């Protein structure tokens, strides 16, 4: 446990109440290795697929994941959405090492959110940037549009050729919204996480196409939290191991 999560500050209180299962990012990354080692996954035989936000605040956790797992296939998109499409996933499918006749992948997909020193969700400290900064800007922009009841979702699929990744958020998120009041930013970020989690199953299907070797795929979703002073956390979401289409998924627990 690090300083923020073990002390009583406005930011730590918000972290504990809003994201009660969050762990330091270093612990999250370490756990991905520890949970998969008994199943034969290690850096030399596994290709990491990393879907974090394009924000520079996601660079550190991406680097930590690559320190743990080796150079990763970049699946980053706004809000951590998996935007590279079928062609990109097919490309990744042929890049994994083959050991004992098996290709192994670890897919980590994390939208992110900020908490500043005052405990304001959506605000974040950026070195050298004056005034208040925000994250995730893409989800905050969508939240503002939805709050104003003017999100241009249009007919499916909605694609803004001048803003394709934000267009994808507008297209994918609204169908997952609950009836009633619009969720707050933390709630919308959780919905983004759930959309991404649903997409991981499609990624697994494509990873198994057109390759002679079977694919084993571990998935870790969650929410990446940027705290004050460069602190980072992850609230784990759905974490599981898919060894084969005809085998039940193995849940990976952060207990």
0.85 exceeded by pTM: yes
All structural domains of the chain with their residue ranges: 3-245
User: What is the end-to-end Cα distance of the chain in Å, rounded?
Assistant: 14
pLDDT at 1 over 90: no
Average per-residue pLDDT for the chain? 93
Residue (of 34, 58, 27, 62) closest to 48 by Cα position = 62
pLDDT at 151: 57
**How do residues 76-101 score in pLDDT, each as one tens digit?**
999 999 999 999 999 999 999 999 99
Residue (of 32, 189, 35) closest to 122 by Cα position = 189
**How do residues 189-233 score in pLDDT, each as one tens digit?**
999 999 999 999 999 999 999 789 999 999 999 999 999 999 999
Beta strands in the chain (DSSP E): 23-24, 46-52, 73-74, 98-99, 102-110, 112-114, 123-124, 133-134, 215-226, 232-242, 250-251
Rounded to whole angstroms, the Cα distance separating 55 from 76 reads 9
Which residues fall within 8 angstroms of residue 83, CB to CB, at 6 or more apart? 75, 77, 164, 165, 168
Give the angle subtended at the CA of 50 by the CAs of 238 and 13, to the nearest 5°.
Answer: 55
* Topology of domain 3-245, CATH: Beta-carbonic Anhydrase; Chain A (3.40.1050)
What mean pLDDT comes out for the span 131-142? Answer: 94
| CA 72 to each of CA 25, 37, 50, 65, 185: distance values in angstroms, whole numbers, following the listed order | 17, 18, 6, 8, 29
Q: Which residue has the tokens 């060894």?
A: 243
């Amino acid at each position: 446990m690090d300083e923020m999560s073990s002390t009583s500050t406005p930011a730590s209180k918000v972290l504990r109440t809003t994201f009660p299962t969050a762990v330091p990012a270093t612990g999250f990354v370490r756990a991905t290795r520890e949970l998969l080692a008994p199943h034969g996954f290690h850096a030399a035989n596994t290709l990491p697929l990393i879907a974090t936000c394009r924000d520079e605040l996601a660079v550190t956790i991406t680097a930590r994941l690559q320190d743990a797992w080796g150079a990763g296939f970049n699946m980053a998109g706004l809000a951590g959405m998996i935007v590279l499409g079928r062609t990109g996933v097919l490309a990744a499918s042929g890049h994994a090492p083959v050991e004992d006749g098996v290709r192994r992948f670890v897919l980590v997909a994390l939208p992110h959110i900020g908490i500043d020193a005052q405990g304001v969700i959506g605000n974040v400290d950026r070195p050298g940037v004056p005034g208040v900064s925000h994250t995730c800007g893409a989800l905050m922009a969508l939240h503002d549009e939805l709050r104003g009841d003017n999100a241009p979702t249009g007919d499916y699929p909605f694609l803004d050729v001048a803003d394709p990744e934000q267009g994808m958020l507008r297209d994918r998120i609204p169908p997952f919204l609950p009836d009633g009041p619009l969720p707050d930013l933390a709630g919308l970020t959780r919905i983004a996480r759930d959309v991404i989690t649903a997409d991981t199953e499609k990624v697994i299907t494509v990873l198994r196409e057109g390759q002679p070797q079977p694919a084993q795929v571990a998935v870790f979703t969650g929410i990446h939290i940027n705290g004050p002073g460069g602190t980072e956390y992850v609230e784990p979401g759905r974490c599981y191991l898919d060894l084969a289409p005809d085998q039940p998924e193995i849940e990976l627990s952060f207990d």
